Structure 1
Amino acid sequence: MSVEEVLALPAAVSVATAAKALGIGPDKAYELIKREEFPARTISLGSTRKVSTASLWEALGLAY
């Protein structure tokens, strides 16, 4: 995923999208979330989990 694509993401994204931006697979991302080691802030919405795009940018060193 390019920097431009990451910067164009909406306010919150799926774990799979965040994993792609981080260069890892979704299974690894969910494993890190379970161990509370995921580098970006996650948000629980019922049975769905989203990732804060601002915290994803920060984890990737793209924060303004």
Structure 2
Amino acid sequence: MQSRSAPPTLAEIKATWPPAVDVPTAGAAFGLSRSHAYELVARGEFPAKVVKFGGRYKVLTESLIRALSATD
């Protein structure tokens, strides 16, 4: 059985994450699975700002930090 790694801490995100990350990475910060994170993006319900660059979705780290800070 594979163990899940703990989600990144807010301090870790602030210190080390780039300005935008992919959906699975951002989803992990909220404790979401990859598939659920993409479902939320498709429904326009992801808890942080998602932008589309070409054919890829990116989550703005600053928006993610604001959303996580609001839940603490």
TM-score of the aligned structures, taking structure 2 as reference length: 0.79
RMSD of the alignment, in Å? Answer: 1.2
Decide which structure has the larger Cα Rg and report it.
Answer: 2
Aligned position for 1:6: 13
TM-score of the aligned structures, taking structure 1 as reference length: 0.87
User: What's the % identity of the aligned pairs?
Assistant: 42
Work out the number of aligned pairs and report it: 62
C-alpha separation in 2, matches of 1:5 and 1:24: 18
Segments of 5+ residues of structure 1 without an aligned counterpart are: none
Aligned position for 2:3: none
Segments of 5+ residues of structure 2 without an aligned counterpart are: 1-7
Aligned position for 2:4: none
